[in-house]
Structure formats: structure tokens, C-alpha cells
Structure 1
């Protein structure tokens, strides 16, 4: 991954660890290792059961193909000790494009657990270990931005999914951040997805903020928020182990006010408005400010 401009360094792929007490004695470390092993076993079992079921559902186009990914991600979050608080709800208008910020590989599980939906991601993601598997499980559509000849096929696939009524999620920053700030949303990414809505007329665009707020019940400060964030040149395995060691993460998902994207509203202005809304929602989550009903 490319480190976001101006992001704080991630020395040696090290993930900061929240110090909450004295060094663990040997027995406690052993029990902690057993707990992590049980979590990994649970993840493996959920995957071994879920993958064939999802493959069969996709092959036969069963209604379960939309429900299995959400259930799978909820199981993973439970095993990992991640608690999700939802503020707001998806807009009822369809087709619906959710523009979200991006903090971690955990975002796929967090957002994917909310409701039947699908992601649009760059083609490189499909080859990433674990992340690519999670993305494929969620029926992600991969876009190769270097092959314009594939654009028509991709647009047809997106349009077919939208016809099922599922929202499409786009991590509009184009990369992940350190969790303390929102990177600029890329209008080109929104424009590429907008092409698939060509025959839909008005598209409902809704901002979506994902904010990691607590670790083991303690509010995350600026220093510890990268415990959840996966960005820059961090390797996945050490970050995964750090998440397993710490556990008990709290994340807030906040839906913003929907807006229209049509012939009267250009993608740049809508993208910038969505970015500003996600920044506001993210700030409110960090300081613990509740949104009005």
C-alpha cells in the first residue's frame, strides 16, 4: 500500500500496543496465546463453512448470496472482539452509493456486517492475502483502472447488482489513513462508479463515517488510534496479531445526510460535500458527540 501523504511513520511495521498494566507473567501470556489460537480457529471454521455456502449461493443465484457475507462478517467481528455502534441508517432511495472513509482491513468486516451490500475496489485488492478473500466473499467488484476496455463489463456488473437493490460502497479516499483524519476524497473514483448509473437518472449518495473510538473500554487518543488503523507500509500479519492481542475494539459507523447525484449535480461538488460530511461525522465520533435523531 502507498502511505498517505503526511501520515505519521509506521516504524518497522510495528503496531503500537496499549500499555494497560505491568508485564504479563508467563501463565497469563500462555493463556493469552491460547485465546488467540481459539480465535484463529473460530475464524478458520467460519471461513471453511461460509466459503462453500457462498460459492454455491453465487453459482445458483440463491437469495442467500446477499445474506451470508453479512452474517459471516458479524461472526468475525464477534470473534475478534470488535463491537459496532450504528448511528443513522442507509437512505431508502435506490440506487444508493455509500461514500466512506477507509481506516483498516477491519472496515470490510465492519461495513460488510451492516446490511446486504457490495464494494467496488481496485483490482490489486483481489490478490491481497486475507483482504482479497474477505472482499471476494462480499461480492466485491474489482476495477482495473489500467484497462479501459473492461469498463463496459464492470459497469454492467455494477448495474446488475444495483438492480437487486443493494447499496454499493466506495472507499473514496483511494487508500487507508491513520484513523485520526480523513484524506481527500477522489472525484475520479466517484466518476468511474457514476458511469454505471448512466441509465438510472438520479443516484442517492450518502456519506458514511467509520471511526474506531475505544480499545478495551478506554477512549482512543491520537496516539493509540493506529492500533486499529492499517496504513502506509504496515504488514498485515503483525497488525492482525496486534488486534488479536488487544481485542475489545469499539467502532462507530455514522450515516450522513443523503444527497442527489444527477445531471444538475456534478460529481465533484457531490464528492466534496460527502467528504466534508464524513469529516464532520468522524470528528463527532472522536469527541463523543451524539447526532440529532
Structure 2
């Protein structure tokens, strides 16, 4: 009874806040007001609070621009968590646009949807990413290209860092900063999750959306650590695979450190 009452209260608050803020965000998108960059952060903070998601930040967002965040990807919760910390926009695969609920939210946050199979369209999208980064926006890239079970970092696709290279001509100092970020779901109701329970927060592709949403709403107490690592400078003479390898190593180290609860050299 208590659980359903809490879920009902959370839904009422989410619907009320959304009814106020989402029309304003749509208006901001229509006229491309800069408020569109900042408004989602407050909405996501409220949603995280309603869902009982407690965010612990280690480190800080790189202050230099242009900036791309390279983040491990376990769940749609990653988007809520990251958006509650900083004013970010996401680089997403094209099919996300048509997802129920999240596709709509992604469009309202002005995500860039990349069609990898069509090179001409990909070029246009990469140019858009470059222009927005040059304009000071923080773009988030999930270099694994899919979601994991939250226990490990999957293989990183170095080709996805091409957006950083494309932004170089528009960068004032001919450098793009790529910052590795690790998102680790560590506790549920104050107790360490462990490998067995971590899929409660993770959303691999073979899990249906509605049961997963029900589980998150019903849980109501998830702790997540977000670690910001040292940024890598991407220049004209930079080797993309070397950048990918460095970013991968740093994300993997930070992720393992938070999941195991100890520092890893």
C-alpha cells in the first residue's frame, strides 16, 4: 500500500511539473532561446528526486570548451542522471527518436539523432554536433553504442569520436576536449547492489520497457555515482584510436573503482 501511494505521489508531481515546464521548453526550441539548454536540468533534477535516485558526483565537468563527454551506458536512467548535473545534449542513434516516452523527451532536449548507415545524413549530423559544441554546448556521447548490464564497459567504437574531429575547424584554439565519465549504480535502499541486483537499474536491450519502468518506480531508492575524469585534448594531429583507447581505459578504471568501492591503480 505504501509503495503504491509513493508511486502515485511521484506520478502526480512528475505530471504537474511536466505540464508546466515542457510547454515552455517546446517554446524555447521553437525560437531557439538559450533557455532550452538550462531548463532540462531542473526538470531532470525533479524527476530524479521523485524516483528516489540519489546522485553522488565525483570530480567536476571540464570547464574548457568545446567539450564532449564520453560516458558508459547502462540505462535510460543515465540520461536523467547526467542531465540533472549539467546542461547537456545527447548524441543518439536514430531509432531512439521513435521510442515511446524517451524519444519524445530526447527531441525536447534537442538530441542529435545519427543515422550511421547513411553517410550523407551522418555528415550533416556530425556538422550539427560540431557547430553546437563550438557554440558552447556540451555534447554527450555513449561510445559503446548500446546499453550494458551496468557491471562493465562494453567495447568502445572509436569511429564515434569522429564528431570530435569534425568540430576542430570550428574550435577557437583548434582543440576539442573529450572528458571520460563513468556512471555507476552502487546501492539500492542503502545496501550495495552487487552484480546480481545491478540490472535493476540497468536496461539492456532484451528487457521490456514497461516492466523496467515499474521496477524503478517501485524501488524508490537508488544511489548512483558519477565520476568525471581527466579530459583528453583532441587536436588535428591526434590519433582517433589512441584517444578512444585512453578514454576507454579511464572510464573502465573509474567504473570498476566505484562498483568495487575502492581505488584502482
- Quick check: 1:84–1:252 contact (8 Å CA) kept in 2? yes
1: CA distance between counterparts of 2:189 and 2:143? 29
- Quick check: 1:95–1:203 contact (8 Å CA) kept in 2? yes
Q: Does the alignment pair 1:154 with 2:132?
A: no
Q: Does the alignment pair 1:283 with 2:256?
A: yes
Number of residue-to-residue matches in the alignment? 263
1:55 pairs with one of 26, 46, 56? 26
Quote how far apart the aligned CAs of 1:192 are: 4.4
- Quick check: 1:108–1:135 contact (8 Å CA) kept in 2? no
Q: Does the alignment pair 1:189 with 2:187?
A: no
Quote how far apart the aligned CAs of 1:190 are: 1.4
Q: Does the alignment pair 1:250 with 2:230?
A: no
Q: What's the secondary structure of 1:176's corresponding residue?
A: coil
User: 1:19: which partner in 2?
Assistant: none
1: CA distance between counterparts of 2:233 and 2:163? 17
2:80 pairs with one of 109, 126, 146? 109
2: CA distance between counterparts of 1:194 and 1:170? 13
Structure 2 unmatched ranges of 5 or more: none
Q: What's the secondary structure of 2:223's corresponding residue?
A: strand
Structure 1 unmatched ranges of 5 or more: 1-29
User: 1:8: which partner in 2?
Assistant: none
Tell me the TM-score normalised to structure 1 length: 0.85
Q: Does the alignment pair 1:207 with 2:180?
A: yes
Q: Which has the higher contact order (CA 8 A, sep 6+)?
A: 1
Moved more, 45-54 or 71-80: 45-54
- Quick check: 1:108–1:134 contact (8 Å CA) kept in 2? no
Over aligned residue pairs, what C-alpha RMSD do you find? 1.8
Q: Does the alignment pair 1:86 with 2:46?
A: no
User: 2:247: which partner in 1?
Assistant: 274
Q: Does the alignment pair 1:260 with 2:233?
A: yes
User: 1:27: which partner in 2?
Assistant: none
Quote how far apart the aligned CAs of 1:31 are: 2.8
Please identify the structure whose Cα radius of gyration is greater: 1
Q: What's the secondary structure of 1:113's corresponding residue?
A: helix
1: CA distance between counterparts of 2:96 and 2:261? 33
Quote how far apart the aligned CAs of 1:63 are: 2.6
Q: What's the secondary structure of 2:225's corresponding residue?
A: strand
User: 1:12: which partner in 2?
Assistant: none
